């Protein structure tokens, strides 16, 4: 017993033509090898009489008044798939469209009736603007326009889902029809070979499901491919499907998004209605225009999403650089990450340490989830229907939506995001079941078209709302960011270890010099001092000689120590690799920390324009830490403490200003405020060791910058740091 399944039906080789059109097929020599039987009704010549004749002879016979117009069709169709030569002609006061095109090695000639539709340029502009309206859905607008053009009772946008079923996402209907908006249709309603045709040939229609069809009369037994044929009859199974749905005319236009069949514009009419070539072309054009607009809107939304998440990514990266604690870092950003992903909860851990935020499964279920998802090789794996719960209590919340993130390769650090179960009531256009019938005459089983399209409801359980691709890509960027920081940090640690070895070697030399080379001058000083102590009556000449020996020894020690310091500084210096840094986050963090540390909660802080600077991140942080920290500390006892940080730019430098209204400094005595351990006389009562500004001076030097200060006792201080713009 043979079983012909729906997807095995060879619909592109049906060999049947609809009543409103006529078809001729020619071989590569342009000799007719097939003609539709119904040509006899119109031209009173049997289809067999056309076999073997050239396309030029047939055109001259069928349309003698248009012979000259058909002399130049060959250049228009040469070597171009689906490039059609189209002319509108009149036969006995009835308009027809004549189409000539190549497909494979064959030439096709179609003649079909015209409805008199004519799309004006002004109308096309109106249609385009209607699709671009920001206050409406582009797919709803498309159904309205196509309904206006073809005058069908129902026009729907039917979108294919990931499981290959479909759903109506937009529609325009005649007033007395029931809406099918939101209805689901099973995959087998549109078999795979039909989908392949929809992807290749963008318009399909039948004018009357009850009308007779005409067979092709052929000179050979070859099955002729009618894939690009507009007048091809639909398959018997599909025609019966339409009859069961009480539809007599249908049309569909393919929605192709980035090369794939995204959906269909599905059109239905209760009574027979022909959609002519001009109408179909207009509908295809508007459908593709809607696709382009839809993609533009999607890309705009993607760009906006990336822009919104980029700031979070930058802040997370900044925190990772400043802290080696993954748990603490992700704890700080947990609620922001949950919000960006529209998740219900987040869990992070490495087996020994773990934290959760928001709503998450119970601990034992998280262990099961981690074990289940260990088999997934991707660093980021997302599912909306994870099954992991056994013997759960009724009150337990299900979390089938899971994103699993392996933060660091070959480590146990895992990041999990969760979404709750989302119950959906799906409405199907008839129960989605395939019925197989048996034909005893042919001894074949075949799929029976569905007879019921009554609403059939199903509650979809055990799944969450799907994770969007942009959300998954956002998490993938976070993973890359973490791994890059960790890898660079590992490289930095290795480099610092090497420098530490060199520094230790230098320290050994320094230590040896101090303990060995300085013994001689120290002995000279000790000996001279002992001699002075031992003798009571010393001559002036003797004292002069002893003091000279002491001064010479001191000079020698000073020169030796200076030289050692230079060598040590040279060997321990790190070559900086500056890059452009926006210090805004640093500054704000320092301000908050300093306010707490110095108990200056009533501080008035003003952040002006901030320009990125070329610097090394750690040194820049340390620089601002000292300058801003001092500004807050020394203005904290004022009645209204005020600190302002801002920057200015010129062609060569970017200048940062740290201004306060604190105790100020007396700079008249030209003293070196950057000298280590030096504290100003009016700083009594404020914590400090006098090291901060010394560190600032060294950092400024290392960064190839310049620092100046303006200050007045009791009126505040203004520090200015000039960074070089280009290095």
Q: Within a 10 A sphere around the Cβ of 68, how many other Cβ atoms?
A: 7
Angle between helices 277-322 and 138-150 (to 10 degrees): 180
Confidence of residue 3 (pLDDT cuts 50, 70, 90): very low
Percent of the chain with pLDDT over 90: 34
Q: Where are the alpha helices (DSSP H) in 513-610?
A: 519-534, 540-572, 584-597
DSSP state of 220: S
Q: Positive or negative, the Cα torsion across 372, 376, 381, 382?
A: negative
> Which one of 7-11, 231-235, 334-338 scores highest in mean pLDDT?
334-338
How confident is the model at residue 606, as a pLDDT? 94
Q: Give per-residue burial for 479-497: e unless 16+ CB within 10 Å, then b.
A: beebeebbeeeeeeeeeee
Instruction: Locate 475 and state its tokens.
Output: 């998490």
Q: What is the pLDDT of residues 259-268, one digit of tens each?
A: 899 999 999 9
- Mean pLDDT for 326-344 is 91
Q: Domains in the chain, please, with CATH?
A: 15-113 (3.30.450.20), 486-572 (1.10.287), 579-724 (3.30.565.10)
Distance CA 140, CA 156 (A): 8
Instruction: Tell me if 450 sits within 8 A of 426, measured CB to CB.
Output: no
Statement: residue 28 has pLDDT above 60: yes
pTM over 0.85: no
- Classify 462 in phi/psi space as left (phi over 0), alpha (psi -120 to 50) or beta: left
In 598-691, alpha helices (H): 617-635
> What is the CA 315 to chain-centroid distance, rounded?
18
Asked if 87 and 63 count as a contact pair (C-beta separation under 8 A), the reply is no
Q: Which of 237-241, 547-551, 642-646, 658-662 has the lowest mean pLDDT?
A: 547-551
In this prediction, residues 299-324 reach a mean pLDDT of: 84
Q: What is the pLDDT of residue 676?
A: 47
Q: What is the pLDDT of residues 63-92, one digit of tens each?
A: 998 888 887 788 777 655 557 889 999 988
* Mean of pLDDT over the chain: 81
Q: Can you give the pLDDT at residue 195?
A: 82
- Give the residue among 311, 675, 361 at the shortest CA–CA distance from 477: 311
- pLDDT tens digit string along 126-184? 888 889 887 789 999 999 999 999 999 999 999 998 888 889 999 999 998 989 998 88
pLDDT at 647: 95
How confident is the model over 439-466, as a mean pLDDT? 66
Cβ(205)–Cβ(243) under 8 Å?
no
Is 447 strand, coil or helix? strand
Q: Cα dist. 107→64, 226, 408, 522 in Å?
A: 20, 11, 60, 110
- Residue 618: C-alpha distances to residues 492, 579, 699 (Å): 12, 12, 10
Q: Give me the pLDDT at residue 11, please.
A: 44
**What's the pLDDT band for 8 if we cut at 50, 70, 90?**
very low
| The two three-digit tokens of residue 162, written as one number | 């990931």
If pLDDT is split at 50, 70 and 90, which confidence band does 364 have? confident
Task: State the first-to-last Cα distance of the chain, in angstroms, to the nearest integer.
Answer: 83
Q: What is the DSSP letter of 662?
A: S
Please say whether the beta carbons of 402 and 345 come within 8 A: no
- In 3D space, the residue among 437, 438, 466, 457 whose CA is nearest the CA of residue 449 turns out to be 437
CA gap 577, 359 in Å, rounded: 44
Among 303-312, 510-519, 698-707, the range scoring the smallest mean pLDDT is 510-519
Which pLDDT score is estimated for 516? Answer: 44
Q: Among 455-459, 629-633, 650-654, which is the least confidently predicted range?
A: 455-459
pLDDT at 578 exceeding the cut of 90: no
Separation between Cα atoms, residue 139 and residue 170, nearest integer Å:
6
With cut-offs at 50, 70 and 90, classify the pLDDT of residue 615: confident
CB atoms under 10 Å from CB of 83, counted, come to 12
- Going by pLDDT thresholds of 50, 70 and 90, the confidence category of residue 1 is very low
The fraction of the chain above a pLDDT of 70, given in percent, is 80
pLDDT one-digit tens code per residue, 499-536:
555 555 555 545 544 554 555 566 667 777 777 777 76
Q: Any residues with CB less than 8 A from the CB of 608 and at least 6 apart, and which?
A: 644, 645, 646, 647
Instruction: Determine the average pLDDT of the residues in 234-250.
Output: 87
| Sign, CA torsion 365/370/373/374 | negative
């Amino acid at each position: 017993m043979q079983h012909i399944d729906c997807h095995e039906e060879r619909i592109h080789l049906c060999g049947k033509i609809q009543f409103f059109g006529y078809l001729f097929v020619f071989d590569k020599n342009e000799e007719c090898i097939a003609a539709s039987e119904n040509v006899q009704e119109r031209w009173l010549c049997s289809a067999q009489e056309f076999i073997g004749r050239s396309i030029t002879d047939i055109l001259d016979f069928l349309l003698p008044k248009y012979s000259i117009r058909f002399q130049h069709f060959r250049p228009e169709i040469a070597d171009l798939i689906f490039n059609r030569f189209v002319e509108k002609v009149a036969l006995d006061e009835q308009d027809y469209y004549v189409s000539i095109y190549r497909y494979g090695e064959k030439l096709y000639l179609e003649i079909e009736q015209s409805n008199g539709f004519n799309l004006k340029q002004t109308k096309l502009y109106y249609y385009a603007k209607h699709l671009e309206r920001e206050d409406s859905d582009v797919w709803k607008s498309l159904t309205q326009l196509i309904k206006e053009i073809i005058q069908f009772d129902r026009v729907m946008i039917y979108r294919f889902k990931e499981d290959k079923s479909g759903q109506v996402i937009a529609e325009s209907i005649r007033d007395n029809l029931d809406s099918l908006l939101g209805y689901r249709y099973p995959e087998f309603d549109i078999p795979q070979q039909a989908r392949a045709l929809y992807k290749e040939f963008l318009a399909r229609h039948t004018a009357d499901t009850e009308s007779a069809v005409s067979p092709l009369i052929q000179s050979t037994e070859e099955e002729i491919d009618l894939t690009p044929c507009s007048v091809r009859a639909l398959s018997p199974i599909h025609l019966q499907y339409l009859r069961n749905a009480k539809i007599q005319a249908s049309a569909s236009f393919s929605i192709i998004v980035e090369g794939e069949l995204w959906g269909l514009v599905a059109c239905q009419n209760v009574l027979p209605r022909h959609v002519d070539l001009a109408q179909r072309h207009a509908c295809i054009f508007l459908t593709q225009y809607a696709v382009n607009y839809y993609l533009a809107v999607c890309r705009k939304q993607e760009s906006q999403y990336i822009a919104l998440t980029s700031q979070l990514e930058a802040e997370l990266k900044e925190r990772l650089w400043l802290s080696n604690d993954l748990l603490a870092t992700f704890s700080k950003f947990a609620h922001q990450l949950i919000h960006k992903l529209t998740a219900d909860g987040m869990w992070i851990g490495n087996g020994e340490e773990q934290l959760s935020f928001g709503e998450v499964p119970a601990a034992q279920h998280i262990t099961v989830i981690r074990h289940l998802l260990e088999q997934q090789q991707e660093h980021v794996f997302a599912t909306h229907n994870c099954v992991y719960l056994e013997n759960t209590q009724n009150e337990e919340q299900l979390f089938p939506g899971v994103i699993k993130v392996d933060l660091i390769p070959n480590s146990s650090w895992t990041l999990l995001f969760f979404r709750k179960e989302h119950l959906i009531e799906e409405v199907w256009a008839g129960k989605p079941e395939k019925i197989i019938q048996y034909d005893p005459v042919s001894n074949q089983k075949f799929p029976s078209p569905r007879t019921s399209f009554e609403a059939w409801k199903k509650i979809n359980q055990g799944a969450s709302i799907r994770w969007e691709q942009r959300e998954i890509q956002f998490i993938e960027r976070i993973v890359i960011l973490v791994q890059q920081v960790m890898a660079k940090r590992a490289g930095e640690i290795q480099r610092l270890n090497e420098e530490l070895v060199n520094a230790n070697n230098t320290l050994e030399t320094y230590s040896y010099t101090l303990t060995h080379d300085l013994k001689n001058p120290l002995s000279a000083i000790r000996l001279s001092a002992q001699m002075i102590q031992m003798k009571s009556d010393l001559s002036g000449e003797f004292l002069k000689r002893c003091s000279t020996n002491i001064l010479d020894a001191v000079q020698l020690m000073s020169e030796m120590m200076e030289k050692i310091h230079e060598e040590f500084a040279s060997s321990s210096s790190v070559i900086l690799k500056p890059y452009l840094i926006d210090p805004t986050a640093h500054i704000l963090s320092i301000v908050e920390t300093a306010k707490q540390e110095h108990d200056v909660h009533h501080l008035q802080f003003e952040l002006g324009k901030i320009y990125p600077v070329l610097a090394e991140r750690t040194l820049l942080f340390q620089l601002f830490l000292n300058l801003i920290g001092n500004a807050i500390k020394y203005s904290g006892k004022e009645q209204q403490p005020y600190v302002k940080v801002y920057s200015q730019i010129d062609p060569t430098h970017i200048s940062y200003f740290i201004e306060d209204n604190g105790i100020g400094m007396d700079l008249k005595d030209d003293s070196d405020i950057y000298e280590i351990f030096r504290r100003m006389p009016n700083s009594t009562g404020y914590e400090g060791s006098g090291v901060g500004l010394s560190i600032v001076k060294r950092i400024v030097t290392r960064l190839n910058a310049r620092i100046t200060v303006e200050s007045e006792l009791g009126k505040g201080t203004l520090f200015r740091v000039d960074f070089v713009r280009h290095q």
